[in-house]
Amino acid sequence: MTDERPITTIRVEALAPQHAAVAAQWAERLGLPLQGEAEFALQLGEEGLQLAELGPQAPGPVRVDFVEGAVAHRRLYGGGSGQMIAKAVGVQSGVRPSVLDATAGLGRDAFVLASLGCSMTLIERQPIIAALLEDGLQRAVRDAEVAAIATQMRLLTGNAIELMGQWQGEPPQVIYLDPMFPHRDKSALVKKEMRLFRPLVGDDMDAPALLAAALALASHRVVVKRPRKAPIIEGAKPSYALEGKSSRYDIYPKKALRTS
């Protein structure tokens, strides 16, 4: 597997004394220092865990928030089962497939699908991003408004290709992939996140192997999110695609999803 990413220095910080003990636990768990020069800081404060770039021109921090902000707005006003991602994974009347999001990132797409009733498993291989996601899920479970959604999301940390190859138990009906790629979304939020995460993650050089592993495991279909004009991933060809303004979903069906 080719996985090229630059070396980045990160320290862990407690934003107030009462968070120092838990911050130290995160530092030990992730193998990160609690002090010293660094380009980024994983910070723990009242609003949870967040990643911040250090320096005078740095954008604000990024955290996973399933309760408020953009995710809440999408949950309430995003179009429900009429959203393109819902159609792509096969959500329809009486059908709520079990979905593995093998490139979970900050979990937004997985949360949308969980909010529509899909049972979700998430895989994130980058430990810092996985930590942000774990913290966001823990806070969501404690919130009465979204707890029922968050409990439908199970997080695994590790290499998705390896985890799919070693899968135990019933396979997911649908596997959803959104490999890191220069997405053309120009929103300020996405620009900030890409600036923070690209030094940690780089581009997915192993997308063909990821697709092959997904096709071997999924029982019903694989869905790959791509920038609208990007080439398909090398390997098997999708049967069809759903296209939006900036993104498209390449669909690799294996078996029809039917009402349970």
- Binding-site annotation, residues: 108-109, 124-125, 178
Instruction: Count CB-CB contacts under 10 A for residue 154.
Output: 13
- Binding-site annotation, residues for S-adenosyl-L-methionine: 108-109, 124-125, 178
Q: What are the backbone dihedrals phi and psi of residue 213, each rounded to the nearest 5 degrees, phi first?
A: -65, -40
Rounded CA separation 250/232 (Å): 8
Does residue 17 contact residue 11 with C-beta atoms inside 8 Å?
Answer: no
Rounded CA separation 45/181 (Å): 31
